[in-house]
Amino acid sequence: MTGFHTKVGHVVFMDPSRTDFDDQGETEPREECGVFGVWAPGEEVAKLTYFGLFALQHRGQEAAGIAVGDGERIVVFKDMGLVSQIFDESSLEALQGNVAIGHTRYSTAGGKKWENVQPMFRTSPDGTDVALGHNGNLINYVELHDEAADRGLIDPAVVSSDTAAITALLAEDVADGRSVLDAARALLPRVKGAFCLTFTDGHTLYAARDPQGVRPLVLGRLDRGWVVASETCALDIVGAAFVREIEPGELVAIDESGVRTIRFAETDHKGCIFEYVYLARPDSVIRGRSVNATRIEIGRRLAREYPADGDIVIPVPESGNPAAVGYARESGIPFGQGLVKNAYVGRTFIQPSQTLRQLGIRLKLNPLREVIAGKKLIVVDDSIVRGNTQRALIRMLREAGAAEVHVRIASPPVKWPCFYGIDFASPGELIANAVTGSDDNEAAVVESIRSAIGADSLGFVSIEEMVEATEQPADQLCRACFDGKYPLGLPQGNPNADLVDNLLKAQNS
């Protein structure tokens, strides 16, 4: 990374003038973010955080950063790109301290700007450094932004991220004898929406989770310290033993005194069901339920709800693998790998030419012709959002000699956008809405989607069967992207949310 970084105060930033970032027009739902934190005196906390972020790379492939504190100051190193593109041995060696937080990001609030890369950094009026990372989306962002602007903490003319607003408000209240803990206890009850936070003053590691627990956040134990992370897989990677989940509505502080916990709100579980379906790594555990086991069980239930006459069950790798295994086991139809995924295709700074762009899905997936030629395929995928990927995939499979292509989806049709940390399309861009017009008949919706993507048959698991597979109470899950019921409400000042609100009112009138 030589030549890109400059020192600004206590923070090492990458050059904000860079513009060589692009999302390559991806059509999949974008995961939200991943957060990680470690308090471990005597350990290489920057390297632990680096490997923790590696485990959480799937949660955000747009940007990443690490903040390390040594009790005197905090140093932040961050940039656009993948974790492996941003950090090297020399940058990690420069990050020395006892406490660290890290973040991997996809933009949801604030957009794809270098200024919004996390962790955020502020210095409080009493000179305390504060760094903060955030996973989720706030529904009262406008209120918090306006408060921060009124207090002169951010430029009211600049559209910044929700994370920038809460970092500014948190740091500003660390003054007149108030600690970071005091400021957090006062601020968190006023923060509404989905949030998992890790933050530090360079001495203590803090973590907090919204009262509904929309996104996962866990606590782990090292031999000489503690770890907090978005998913249990990150604990495994750094050798931390799982202790428990951070409870919804809980604020945790970790330092030489141990782990202290403060309740800032009552728990009202509304965990995101899409974590089980798509977002979380299969080797993670959420509320005691293995994500991999959940996806296999969804596949079993999908096979019972929508059987198909096929020769082989193949997944769309990687996220479709467990459900395809479950479908094959339940149906008795052989499981096979009919598609090869290029493991190195992710976000890249290299723009494909128009010729390569037209190849579309072939940049990521390629068929094994000897496996699929002449076969009736049952293709299992985790979800359909816009339908572009499935349409291109089915065309590719037919060109490779597939006799029939029967598509089975391990989640119901996505009909509504997410305002709690996943960057879905607007309602009109979702294929479940775009292809059906005003026709609300479920069978007509499925048939329209089947025709649009070119499958011989199509089946989606039902909401009820999907919920049963998670082994969680139905009233403790958020399923808004499938059923339009937003348990935390809709965000302020968001045109897409206003559109959804009007659509829901018209639907219920």
Q: What is the mean predicted confidence (pLDDT) over 222-231?
A: 97
Higher pLDDT, 414 or 360: 414
Looking at 115-119, 128-132, 302-306, 447-451, which range is the least confident one?
115-119
Is residue 508 packed enough to be buried (19+ CB in 10 Å), middle (13-18) or exposed (0-12)?
A: exposed
Q: Among 488, 494, 491, which Cα is nearest to 211's?
A: 488
Provide CATH code, domain 30-268: 3.60.20.10
What pLDDT, in 10s, does the model give residues 39-68? 999 999 999 999 999 999 999 888 999 999
| 418 in a known ligand binding site | yes
% helix, strand, coil for the chain, step of 5 = 35, 25, 40
| Helix, coil or strand: residue 224 | coil
| pLDDT of 202 | 97
Burial 192-208 (b: 16+ CB within 10 A, else e): bbbbbbbbbbbbbbbbb
For the chain, which residues make up each domain, given as ranges? 30-268, 293-341+350-471
- pLDDT of residue 15 exceeding 50, the answer is no
| pLDDT of 423 | 76
Which pLDDT band holds residue 471 (cuts at 50, 70, 90)?
Answer: very high
Which pLDDT band holds residue 1 (cuts at 50, 70, 90)?
Answer: very low
Q: What is the mean predicted confidence (pLDDT) over 148-155?
A: 93
Q: Among 64, 59, 68, which Cα is nearest to 79's?
A: 64
| Helix, coil or strand: residue 174 | coil
Higher pLDDT, 113 or 406: 406
Looking at the structure, give the CATH architecture of the domain made up of residues 293-341+350-471: 3-Layer(aba) Sandwich (3.40)
Quote the CA–CA distance of 308 and 68 in Å, as a whole number: 54
Which helix H or strand E contains 378, and what residues bound it? Answer: strand 376-381
| pLDDT of 427 | 82
Quote the CA–CA distance of 456 and 446 in Å, as a whole number: 12
Q: What is the mean predicted confidence (pLDDT) over 314-333?
A: 96
For 409, phi then psi, to 5°, come to -115, 130
| 319 in a known ligand binding site | yes
Quote the CA–CA distance of 325 and 460 in Å, as a whole number: 16
Which pLDDT band holds residue 342 (cuts at 50, 70, 90)?
Answer: confident
Q: Among 276, 267, 268, which Cα is nearest to 475's?
A: 268
Which helix H or strand E contains 104, and what residues bound it? Answer: strand 99-105
Q: What is the mean predicted confidence (pLDDT) over 443-460?
A: 94
Q: What is the mean predicted confidence (pLDDT) over 103-107?
A: 81
- pLDDT of residue 108 exceeding 90, the answer is no
Higher pLDDT, 201 or 20: 201
- Say if CB 461 and CB 330 are below 8 A apart: no
| 478 in a known ligand binding site | yes
- pLDDT of residue 181 exceeding 80, the answer is yes
pTM, two decimals, is: 0.90
Q: What is the mean predicted confidence (pLDDT) over 124-145?
A: 95
End-to-end CA, the chain: 57
| 196 in a known ligand binding site | no
Catalytic residues: 33
Looking at 172-181, 325-334, 426-435, which range is the least confident one?
426-435
Quote the CA–CA distance of 39 and 255 in Å, as a whole number: 7
| 481 in a known ligand binding site | yes
| pLDDT of 21 | 30
Quote the CA–CA distance of 466 and 476 in Å, as a whole number: 14
- Say if CB 80 and CB 36 are below 8 A apart: no
Which pLDDT band holds residue 358 (cuts at 50, 70, 90)?
Answer: low
HSE of 244, CA atoms in CB hemisphere, 13 A: 7
Percent of the chain, pLDDT > 90?
73
Q: Measure CA 34 to chain center.
A: 6
DSSP assignment letter at 87: -
Which pLDDT band holds residue 160 (cuts at 50, 70, 90)?
Answer: confident
- pLDDT of residue 343 exceeding 90, the answer is no
| pLDDT of 389 | 87
| pLDDT of 478 | 98
- Say if CB 218 and CB 242 are below 8 A apart: yes
Question: Beta-carbon neighbour count of residue 91 at 10 Å?
Answer: 18
Mean pLDDT of the chain: 89
Higher pLDDT, 494 or 247: 247
Which pLDDT band holds residue 292 (cuts at 50, 70, 90)?
Answer: very high
Higher pLDDT, 388 or 147: 147
